[in-house]
Amino acid sequence: MGILKKFYPDEYLDSTYIIDFKKYFDKGYRGIIFDIDNTLVPHGAIATTKANELFEKLRNIGFDTCLISNNKEKRVSSFANSVGSKYIFKASKPLPKNYKKACELMHTDIENTMFVGDQIFTDVYGAKRIGIYTILVKPIHPKEEIQIVLKRYLEKIVLRSYEKNK
């Protein structure tokens, strides 16, 4: 199953909201790239109080943030404005270009930037392609668009291999 290794996250956690971000700051990380849908809120939802509080906490720790999403500008900009984050819309994940652009926007580099997302083949794979530390989180809500549902079946294969080999 060595071929699947390129899709393995560095960590796999139950939720974005249980991550000990202070620990990562202490390790030298300064920027966090986030996916939005099913990583921070259910698909299509507006920023919640919980999401707003998380971004406030991250700023207080000393992090800069950037949201990258394959979604349209209206969706991404309204969420980003609510939580107070930089953003990139229509990011074409997993292409590496906009992960690099996110680092530029935050004035970080791949060594001190981490990524948090809920999908292996777009979020994690894109970040891993350029060497960014990745945390895969379980999707917040099971209701998803059909193309994502189909990818989830393939993700289960990768995650079984990941769990076996970690």
pLDDT digits (tens, 9 = 90+) for 64-121: 999 999 999 999 999 999 999 999 999 999 999 999 999 999 999 999 999 999 998 8
Per the model's pLDDT, the better-predicted residue between 164 and 48 turns out to be: 48
Average pLDDT over residues 26-39: 97
- Smallest CA-to-CA distance from 126 within 5, 2, 6, 1 is with 6
User: Is-contact 100 17, C-beta < 8 A?
Assistant: no
Estimate to the nearest angstrom the gap between the alpha carbon of 7 and the chain centroid.
14
| pLDDT at residue number 45 | 93
Average pLDDT over residues 142-164: 71
| pLDDT at residue number 128 | 94
Average pLDDT over residues 139-157: 69
Report all structural domains of the chain as residue ranges with CATH numbers, in order of start: 9-165 (3.40.50.1000)
Per the model's pLDDT, the better-predicted residue between 31 and 145 turns out to be: 31
> Tens of pLDDT along 106-132?
999 999 999 999 998 889 999 999 999
